[in-house]
Amino acid sequence: DQQVKQNSPSLSVQEGRISILNCDYTNSMFDYFLWYKKYPAEGPTFLISISSIKDKNEDGRFTVFLNKSAKHLSLHIVPSQPGDSAVYFCAASEGDDKIIFGKGTRLHILP
């Protein structure tokens, strides 16, 4: 029973364009959402987060949007750069101590 779903295993985007990564969740009790980025042979690193009391959070080129009614969040990267090529994980927590991750989306930035 997958509570955090990233339905696109991979995504290719031209350098300079917008990358949009999507995430859906099933647990309506989730109140915190995070995005992590992972390069090969390294641990994931935190990118950006959003509380359920907000619908948008920005940090430089990265913006996360939350649609609670649709149980959907997305990560926008503008403009996309070659160093953004990585696997992106969506994660959520529900007020206890567990952070549940999705399966990840591999982003390829094309020159």
C-alpha to C-alpha distances, 108 to 28, 42, 63, nearest whole angstrom: 31, 17, 18
56 sits near another protein (criterion: CB under 8 A) = no
Of 15-23, 40-48, 59-67, 68-76, the window that binds another protein (rule: CB under 8 A) is 40-48
Among 60, 69, 83, 97, the residue binding another protein under the rule CB under 8 A is 97
| 62-67 and 72-77 beta bridge pairing | antiparallel
Interatomic CA distance for residues 51 and 107, integer angstroms: 24
Give me the half-sphere count of Cα atoms (radius 13 Å) on the Cβ side of residue 13: 23
Which one, 84 or 102, has the nearer CB to another protein?
102
Q: Can residue 85 be called a binding residue for another protein (CB under 8 A)?
A: no
Q: Which residues bind another protein (CB under 8 A)?
A: 6, 9, 31-32, 34, 36, 41-46, 49, 51-53, 89, 91, 93, 95, 97-104
